[in-house]
Amino acid sequence: MDFQNIPWFSVVIGSVIVYFLFKTLGKDNSQPCLPPGPPPLPLLGNLLQLGGGKATEVLLALSQQYGPLMTLHLGLKTVMVVTSPAMAKEVLKTQDHNLAGRWVLQAAKTLDQHKSSIGWADYGPHWKKLRRISSTELMTVKRLQSLQHLRKEEIFRTIRLIFEERGKSVNISHTVFYTGLNLLGNMIFSTSVFDPKNPDSVEFKDAFSLSMKLAGTPNVADFFPFLAFLDPQRLCRQMAINFRKVHKFLDVYIQDRLAKRSKSIEKEKAEDKDFLDVLLDFSGPDLTVTNIRALIFELFMAGSDTTATTIEWAMAELIRNPHTMQRVQQELEEVVGSNRRVEESDIDQLPYLHAVVKEVFRLHPPIPLLVPHKAENSCEVAGYTIPKDSQIIVNVWAIGRDPSIWKEPIKFMPERFLEGEMSKMEYKGQDFELLPFGSGRRICMGLPLAHRMVHLVLASLAQSFEWRLPDEMHGENLDMSDELGSALKKATDLHAIPTPHLPHHLY
């Protein structure tokens, strides 16, 4: 053979082909047995299928075809979608040690926010320390009990403001959101943080609200991480601007407290400490002031938006179901009476109110797909392989509407939680049919506080006022559509007109 007549580039190309041929033949081509799912397109995967509607509804429709444990390929991400209590128990409890990681959104990485976060931090020593402080110092029954007077005062302030504006339409979402901000501000800083007359306060509120909106905006860089440095939608750039405004506002309170602590000789009693004092007591190399600021920011984000969203949904359901509202008010009348305002100590004596809150969490879970988990290790679930680094989504919205679990699942029917086995069902992570706060290691740290806030605010609004829609609206045609962002919100804000229900001296 005359080698001189063979072009050298052909030799090179042939050598590359032979190399990869041998490499492929020598490689174990056995693929893991993934859960079933729709066939993906090259590069895009199943992204186009999710673009045709609300993610909660699209994922439910796909799961009805492919099963309660399903594989999706979203860009370069492998995603497992869970849509049944049995599969939720497998991934959140049985395999919790393997699946407790976090798939961090690019927006959450802005200014390294995720590194100081409980919600977004990787499962490891730093996360465990933050979680331990939260569970043993911040969210304990004793700590929350010691701060209940602050919650009582803030909620009463809201009730009084509504009373003073009686006869005028109230934006329930905005009102409860501001209440939540100030309620958390009192628990964290011992002072209200939102004052509409203070420009710094308004800037904080606006930056805070926009941060939550940006956090819920789909980001192409989450599905194609190699685009992250380009920030093609400018989401991270906008997030950084708002984060800095929020940080500046929070730093004023933190630095002021540090200055006071440096001058104070006497130490506060443990029961008199707010959340900031507790966190500063633990400050050091492993818990810096930057970490504390990020943690406080997260407390505000987790506690205000989701609480306001839940209460707005609850009030919408009560207003459009007058018999349910009447039953809530009757229970309050029997337990509390009409000569005093409802308090936290009454909550345990209000089983129907509890049933209403459970039903709201079932139909309108604030985080309908929970915060995504990540597989730290490859593991097996229901005979299928969950590969390392894959993302796990639990569609609690779909579980709450499963007709095989719930009778008349679309109907708002709190009575279902007063009868039979469902009367024992709670949303604290052990009953996998009802998981608004998740379960396992990653269960929402704010559950104990959210439980108190939602019940007390809802009971106070129902006890203090009769509520009706503006004249041009009727309960039966009240818009109950939702939109998915950082939380599952009503697509249109709920406006209602209050009429005082209690003797005027109680306002």
pLDDT at site 445: 87
Q: Domain range holding 186?
A: 3-506
Question: What mean pLDDT is reported for the chain?
Answer: 89
Tens digits of residue pLDDT in 320-360: 999 999 999 999 999 999 999 999 999 999 999 999 999 99
**Exposed e or buried b per residue across 193-223, where buried means at least 16 C-beta atoms within 10 angstroms of its C-beta:** bbeeeeeebeebbebbbbbbebbbeebbbbb
| pLDDT level of residue 30 (50, 70, 90 thresholds) | low
- pLDDT tens digits, residue range 409-422? 999 999 999 988 89
User: Quick one: pLDDT at residue 265?
Assistant: 66
Judge contact between 395 and 56, C-beta under 8 A: yes
State how many domains the chain has: 1
Question: DSSP letters along 254-275, please?
Answer: HHHHHHHHHH--SPPPGGG--H
pLDDT in tens, 293-312: 988 998 888 788 889 999 99
CATH of the domain at 243: 1.10.630.10
Residue 268 banded pLDDT, cuts 50, 70, 90: low
Whole-structure pTM value: 0.90
Beta pairing class for 482-484 and 373-374: unpaired
CA separation (Å) from 57 to 60, 358, 399?
Answer: 5, 21, 11
